Amino acid sequence: MSEEIELKIREKMEGKRVMEPAILGFLRAYRLVAGGGDGVIREAEIEPASGVVDYGDLESVEGFDADLVGQTVVIKLNGGLGTSMGLEKVKSLLEVRPGVAFLDLMDQ
56 falls in which pLDDT band (50, 70, 90)?
confident
Q: What is the mean pLDDT of the chain?
A: 80
Residue 7: predicted pLDDT: 92
Q: Specify whether 23 is located in the same domain as 12.
A: yes
CB 98 within 8 A of CB 47: no
Tens-place pLDDT, residues 3-13: 899 899 999 99
Helices and strands: H and E segment counts in the chain = 3, 2
106 falls in which pLDDT band (50, 70, 90)?
low
Domain of residue 95 covers 41-108
**CB neighbour list of residue 99: distance below 8 Å, 6 or more residues apart:** none
Q: Specify whether 78 is located in the same domain as 57.
A: yes
Q: Specify whether 103 is located in the same domain as 58.
A: yes
CB 1 within 8 A of CB 30: yes
Q: Specify whether 65 is located in the same domain as 95.
A: yes
Beta strands in 1-108 (DSSP E): 95-97, 100-101
Q: Specify whether 32 is located in the same domain as 2.
A: yes
Q: Specify whether 76 is located in the same domain as 63.
A: yes
Q: Specify whether 79 is located in the same domain as 30.
A: no
Quote the CA–CA distance of 80 and 26 in Å, as a whole number: 23
